[in-house]
Structure 1
Amino acid sequence: MKITAIKTYPVRIPLKPERRMISALGKHDVSNYLVLRIETDAGIEGAGEATVLCRWSGETVWGAQAIVDRVFTPLLIGQDPCDIETINQILDRTSQGNWFAKSALEMACWDIKGKAAAQPVYELLGGAVRSRSIKCRFSMGAYSLERAQRRTQELVAAGFTTIKVKVGTNPDEDVARVKMVRETMGPDLELTIDANSGWDAATAIAAMKRMSDYNVALFEQPTPRGDFAALAEVRRAIEPEIMADDICFDLADAKECIRNEACDVINVYPGKNGGISKTAAIVSYAAEHGIPCSIGSNLELDIASAAMCHAVVGCPNMNIEQYPGDILGPEYHEISIVKNPLKIEGPVITIPDSPGLGIEVDWGLVEAHAVD
């Protein structure tokens, strides 16, 4: 089988007003993402999604489209999409970074490989090690106290047992928000926080001490990207466990986290890591060193969310039972661009056992929401 064409579609999908995100990275009201289709001479197509946010990875929908169209596509035409190792080698020797663009291409190849084998992607990763129904936490933005209280009440009523609160902005406001969420959700449900690299070590430690009475179970990415020593400093100084996320894009980053004893758990997902294969490699390496992994999110649409689910179902060390992840991106958006949206009921997302990624893109709807 050979790749014959790669077609790209920049799309603009608004978030539901009640789900719009506020964090240390700023506001996220509309998703400008890249959706792509890989065509083959066997008539099998694969879909991919680059969930790009400029302040997160430095990628934009326009840059992702340009590098896919002008750099990667000429090299991938004629390649076997089922030879994913070679596909990744081509992408990596051609470009540094560009994780989400690479991931979109790689997940589309996994989609094709699964369809060709008549198997879901998680079977190709070694088989299902957990249920296809995955229980998630809810990621709450850095909202006002009134909005945080109202959202917490709604989330508890919807069955969420873990709520993540965005912090990393103004410490006084963040502490007050965490206090409000804890008081509203009660003492028995799990509360985690995420600073998205918004604080230095001293600020993170001081803020966490002020939140010591709120039973925070996990502190995600308190310190800036690239500063492994700062993350380790916070880990030594506070009681809650530390999750590495923004600081860990590839296997080299994961090795530095572990070498510096900087975290208790590593957050991974295919977009950030450059593909499903690279996520699996990080998860496997972390397992060898006794570090559990969980799944993060960039507020994906159904395509990338399906890729995330397959990684969770197929990777044993994706310890979402103890550390619930974030795979609810489709529920944040006003529309779905697939004909069979992933089933989301409260905190639980379920992927089908269909071949490939298990989703069928509505290309007419994609074209309707494409932007110049």
Structure 2
Amino acid sequence: MGPPHAAAAARARAARGLHRHALPGRFRAQGRAEAQGLHAALHARVPATQGGPRATARRLPPSEPAAAGGPRSDHRQRAHARALRAHRLATAAGHDPGLQPRDHVRSAAGPGGGGVGLRARRRPGEGRVTPRGCRPVVASIEVLPLRIPFRYAFEHHLAARREARPQLVRLRLSDGSVGYGEALPRPYLTGETEASARAALEGPLAALILGREVAGLSGARALIESAAARAAREREPAAFCGVELALLDAAGRSEGRPVTDVLGGARRAELSYPAAVAGFMPASALRIFLREARRRGARLVKLKVGRADDLERVALARAVLGYDIDLVVDANGAWTAREAIARLRALERFGLTAAEQPVARDDVAGLARVRREAATPIMADESLSTLADARRLIAHGACDLWNLRVGKCGGLLATRALALLAQEHGIGCVLGVLVGETGILGAAGRQLAACHGAFRWLEHEGAALKRGDPVELPPVTAGRAARPLGPGLGFTLDEARLAALADQPLRVSA
């Protein structure tokens, strides 16, 4: 003869069977009463679970009659009672208090198959495992504004900066995977401010992806394209970039695949970074910068122009660099079309490789005029951040080159689309950087450069400018750097540095 609780379980199952066979009402009532009494007796003797203290179930007091009907059906009432009982057992045994009663299910875990198992529906952003067979969903988004000081001021016609204010985006999936993106809004590039970018990240962009399924990198790409079609990639490309990178990074880490798998596949493991960029600085400092650039093996130098001493500064650059290193001037929209034509004609004797953004951002007709009347090839930068901008530049025949930057063009997928469009129309492309960007945007740029071989040159700002970066990447040495290897964007995050640089984060949960 089996143990007493096994016999009691058999009698309880027999009593429950009365209800399943729909016997007359008096027998159903008798069966309910017997079943509840037997359940109370059975669970008063539930043995201790392995690894935890003995859990004692609540008995029905003598004064509490068995339920004889009510708003719930009998089977729903019994299911609810089982769930509540499982919750009490789990709490007494010290299980995760974050689990809800509906998260507990019966299993064959205990002696005689009558134990209580737990199936967790984890709260958003707490890094818990998605049940097998279920796809992870976007559980939470956090915006972490950073303040990264510079070692020296970086100046051009449109801005003078002594620090960078990137906004990191931390995105968690329900399977525990975490991805990071970066939004670095610049009003003169995309019209976005720090406040508007944060509002977009907190509101409409978060609403588009929170709670949505992410079936690996391909699912992340589909979700990104859906969000882009419905919302803000054209209006808020910097903010959209932050969400896109975080989503791709999280999906790649969840699946164990690099983001290059959705960018056409990596074609090279090592990248060449020949370019150095010089902002406005005194002549003595510029001379030192140029000598150091030549010593490090730079093959191209970009020099900011747009001031009265442009001729002297370009002459100094050629005197230090010689003519075997390419020289690009960048006016950041400082001139009118007429001024640009005159200035560039005066500088032509120094053998310029290109002139970047000679006129204001919105003066596409003026840009086209400069291209027609000046001999130096013209590159668009501030005039180009979206697909609509690109089509307008093509329609006007406004430039020979595009300066693409992941942070201003709406993310990796949009930047790649612009690069392919440029290739289709015979326009050269440069992959640039935003001054003060962290290694998150840097890693994204490297992954794109590894997949798209048509960039004329790659730019980087070097490690000397910023006084801290929470992201670690393979260093640029002698103008060469490795592509980050590993899932997602491939970078390594230093949590201590991140905490030191971050302000109070904003958390948006599903």
Superposed pair shares fold, TM > 0.5: yes
Q: 3-state SS of the aligned residue for 1:266?
A: strand
Match of 1:123 in 2: 261
Q: 3-state SS of the aligned residue for 2:476?
A: strand
| Gapped regions of structure 1 (runs ≥ 5) | none
Q: 3-state SS of the aligned residue for 2:492?
A: coil
Equivalent residue letter for 2:438: L
Q: CA deviation at 1:371?
A: 2.9
Q: Do the aligned partners of residues 367 and 62 (structure 1) sit closer, same or farther apart at CA in structure 2, a change above 3 Å counting?
A: farther
Q: Indicate which of 317, 334, 351 corresponds to 2:483.
A: 351
Contact 2:431 2:445 survives alignment (8 Å): yes
Match of 1:10 in 2: 145
Q: CA deviation at 1:345?
A: 1.8
| Gapped regions of structure 2 (runs ≥ 5) | 1-135, 505-510
Contact 2:189 2:408 survives alignment (8 Å): no
Contact 1:132 1:352 survives alignment (8 Å): no
Q: 3-state SS of the aligned residue for 1:262?
A: coil
The reply to whether residue 174 of structure 1 matches residue 310 of structure 2 is yes
Q: CA deviation at 1:87?
A: 2.7
Q: Within 2, Cα distance between the matches of 1:80 and 1:363?
A: 27
Matches within 5 A, 1:56-67: 56-67=189-200
Q: Within 2, Cα distance between the matches of 1:201 and 1:262?
A: 12
The reply to whether residue 78 of structure 1 matches residue 226 of structure 2 is no
Q: Within 2, Cα distance between the matches of 1:45 and 1:271?
A: 20
Q: Within 1, Cα distance between the matches of 2:359 and 2:229?
A: 28
Q: Indicate which of 430, 450, 455 corresponds to 1:313.
A: 450
Q: 3-state SS of the aligned residue for 2:353?
A: strand
* TM-score normalised over the length of structure 2: 0.68
The reply to whether residue 303 of structure 1 matches residue 436 of structure 2 is no
Match of 2:158 in 1: 25
Q: Within 2, Cα distance between the matches of 1:85 and 1:113?
A: 12
Q: Do the aligned partners of residues 113 and 4 (structure 1) sit closer, same or farther apart at CA in structure 2, a change above 3 Å counting?
A: same
Q: Within 1, Cα distance between the matches of 2:458 and 2:333?
A: 18
Matches within 5 A, 1:90-239: 90-91=227-228, 93-95=230-232, 97-168=235-306, 170=307, 172-239=308-375
Equivalent residue letter for 1:4: A
Q: CA deviation at 1:331?
A: 4.6
Q: Do the aligned partners of residues 255 and 304 (structure 1) sit closer, same or farther apart at CA in structure 2, a change above 3 Å counting?
A: same
Q: CA deviation at 1:34?
A: 0.3
Q: CA deviation at 1:54?
A: 3.4
Q: Do the aligned partners of residues 331 and 88 (structure 1) sit closer, same or farther apart at CA in structure 2, a change above 3 Å counting?
A: farther
Identical amino acids, percent of aligned pairs: 29
Contact 1:337 1:365 survives alignment (8 Å): yes
Q: Within 1, Cα distance between the matches of 2:204 and 2:392?
A: 30
The C-alpha deviation readout for 1:147-176, integer Å capped at 9, x for no partner, is: 2112111111121111000112x2x31221
Equivalent residue letter for 1:116: S
The reply to whether residue 268 of structure 1 matches residue 404 of structure 2 is yes
Q: Do the aligned partners of residues 173 and 57 (structure 1) sit closer, same or farther apart at CA in structure 2, a change above 3 Å counting?
A: same
Q: CA deviation at 1:357?
A: 0.5
Contact 1:302 1:341 survives alignment (8 Å): yes
Q: Do the aligned partners of residues 232 and 215 (structure 1) sit closer, same or farther apart at CA in structure 2, a change above 3 Å counting?
A: same
Contact 1:139 1:165 survives alignment (8 Å): yes
Q: Do the aligned partners of residues 327 and 121 (structure 1) sit closer, same or farther apart at CA in structure 2, a change above 3 Å counting?
A: farther
Q: 3-state SS of the aligned residue for 2:145?
A: strand
Q: CA deviation at 1:283?
A: 1.0
Q: Within 2, Cα distance between the matches of 1:334 and 1:12?
A: 10
Q: CA deviation at 1:278?
A: 0.6
Q: CA deviation at 1:218?
A: 0.8
Q: CA deviation at 1:246?
A: 0.9
Q: CA deviation at 1:259?
A: 1.8
Match of 1:241 in 2: 377
Q: CA deviation at 1:275?
A: 1.2
Q: CA deviation at 1:80?
A: 3.0
**Structure 1 vs Structure 2 CA RMSD:** 1.9
Q: Which has the greater radius of gyration?
A: 2
Contact 2:190 2:385 survives alignment (8 Å): no
Contact 1:228 1:260 survives alignment (8 Å): yes
Q: Within 2, Cα distance between the matches of 1:201 and 1:325?
A: 28
Q: CA deviation at 1:39?
A: 0.1
Q: 3-state SS of the aligned residue for 1:188?
A: coil
Contact 2:241 2:412 survives alignment (8 Å): yes
Equivalent residue letter for 2:137: K
Q: Within 2, Cα distance between the matches of 1:76 and 1:281?
A: 22
Q: Within 1, Cα distance between the matches of 2:427 and 2:268?
A: 19
Match of 2:457 in 1: 324
Contact 1:9 1:367 survives alignment (8 Å): no
Q: Indicate which of 500, 503, 508 corresponds to 1:371.
A: 503
The C-alpha deviation readout for 1:228-252, integer Å capped at 9, x for no partner, is: 2111111111222111111011112
Q: CA deviation at 1:346?
A: 4.2
Q: 3-state SS of the aligned residue for 2:309?
A: helix
Q: Within 2, Cα distance between the matches of 1:371 and 1:229?
A: 42
Q: 3-state SS of the aligned residue for 2:168?
A: strand
Deviates further, 127-136 or 218-227:
127-136
The C-alpha deviation readout for 1:193-227, integer Å capped at 9, x for no partner, is: 11111211111111111112211111111111122
* TM-score normalised over the length of structure 1: 0.92
Aligned length: 363
Greater relative contact order structure (CA < 8 Å, 6+ sep): 1
The C-alpha deviation readout for 1:9-60, integer Å capped at 9, x for no partner, is: 100001222xx31101121110011011100011111100112233433323
Q: Do the aligned partners of residues 273 and 234 (structure 1) sit closer, same or farther apart at CA in structure 2, a change above 3 Å counting?
A: same
Q: 3-state SS of the aligned residue for 1:358?
A: coil
Contact 2:364 2:396 survives alignment (8 Å): yes
Q: Do the aligned partners of residues 334 and 92 (structure 1) sit closer, same or farther apart at CA in structure 2, a change above 3 Å counting?
A: farther
Q: 3-state SS of the aligned residue for 1:298?
A: coil
Q: Do the aligned partners of residues 330 and 41 (structure 1) sit closer, same or farther apart at CA in structure 2, a change above 3 Å counting?
A: farther
Q: Within 2, Cα distance between the matches of 1:195 and 1:364?
A: 38
Q: Within 1, Cα distance between the matches of 2:272 and 2:403?
A: 16
